[in-house]
Amino acid sequence: MKRSPLTSDAQEKSIVDAINTDDRISKLPNDLLAKILSRLSLKEAMRTSVINDHHGHLEKCTIIYYPYQCEDGMVEAWIRSLIHVKHIKHLTLKNFICPFRPNPTITLDLPPESFSHPCLDSLTLSRYNIETSHAFDNCWNIKKLELTGISAGVGVFNVVLVSCPSLEVLVVDINCHKGRGLLKIGNRNLKFLYLSCYNIDAIEVSSPNLDILTIGNLLCEKEKVVIASPRLQFYRNYWTTLYAHTSYSISCPDQEKKSIGHEFLMRRSRDFLSEFASMSVSVDLANTKEVEMLHEILAACPREMEELEILFKKSNSPRKVETSIARTQKQFWEETKPFSHANFSAYTVRLSNFSGSKEEFTLASRLITQGMVGKTMLIKPSSFSPSDKLEIEGAVANLNELPKGHIELDIVMV
């Protein structure tokens, strides 16, 4: 018989009754409760009855458990209580694989619309089999979804993604063990996407607002990887190479705040910016907020990178008029000295759409003199008109005269 989602007051009360025990610490502040729970085993945490009887809603919870601990339905009841009674905002569920027990992977089997609740904003699932997409029905509420170590048919994954149309952050680390085929990602609000896929035939990404795409492993033919995201326009398809790659179109329409994708990447840089990987970024150096974001990205890069591409976007504002904004930009570059003392080195650096502007020359010179370019700097001009080419060649010649952090460094215009 098909199980219906729990929505009524009577059903919510039954959830609480299913896991109700004596409550000893429910009156403590939420931050203290979270610290206490983090130090308890699953069984001990359940006995405290903190989840169901403490007053108020919960902001965040992580459940890590062994497969054998969900046999009596207790974990499922706890999940339902967190979502539909405690109105959790950020939920993480992790299957802890025990090497000493057989069949370590759990099939996540929850009722339809289990994750559909207006308060649930962020969901992370780790190390599960998923046979159906029913638990994700009508999940308009979820804005951040992380699927790590998840096994399912590609059709199930496609339905899950369609059922979550409000996604802004998506982490996909999956194994399509059934029904190989085309994985389709078309979420229009998506800002950040991480992809690592096994046993899949093809991938199609069509997300018009995507700013950040990070590729881990894609074990399919490069001709069958289609990335149709207009903001990620670079000169090379780095996702077809053997090493991990991040493409990032830096944008900051609101000067007062950074994008959700940027904040997520900075918080989780160790997870998504790996050693010996490559990166492509596009930036408007006339936009001080974008320059700050680029500085943060480079500061978060691993110590050794395979390749770095920086594509210079051109500002539509006039450059020759000495406005207050222009003076602010000049003051910013002179006082903050961005890109100084970054602790990374890329084997190859590509500067694309290079015009020889003061900001571009300053950035290039700091990369050169501080040893951030290991072997080669390739400069692709923004224009090939005779006058512009002469100016750009002069800038490249001046860059070659600078003291180099690596003596063997070559600086070439291509």
Residue 49 Rama label (left phi>0; alpha psi -120 to 50; beta):
left
Specify the pLDDT at position 57: 78
pLDDT digits (tens, 9 = 90+) for 214-265: 998 887 777 888 888 888 877 666 655 567 889 999 987 665 567 899 999 9
List beta partners, residue 192: 169, 212
SS3 223: helix
Q: How far is CA 40 from CA 34, 45, 65, 88, 404, in A?
A: 10, 6, 12, 19, 54
Contact yes or no for 92/124 (Cβ under 8 A): yes
d(CA 185, CA 109): 24
pLDDT digits (tens, 9 = 90+) for 340-353: 666 788 999 999 99
Specify the pLDDT at position 274: 85
Tokens (6 digits) for 378: 């390739």
d(CA 297, CA 35): 31
Alpha helices in 118-238 (DSSP H): 154-162
Q: Which residue has the higher pLDDT, 6 or 218?
A: 218
Name the nearest CA neighbour of 338 among 399, 288, 282, 273.
288
Name the nearest CA neighbour of 248 among 324, 300, 318, 181.
300
Specify the pLDDT at position 4: 39
Tokens (6 digits) for 36: 């206490």
Specify the pLDDT at position 85: 87
Contacts of 26 (CB under 8 A, 6+ apart): 33, 49, 50, 53, 54, 55
Specify the pLDDT at position 53: 61
Specify the pLDDT at position 1: 36
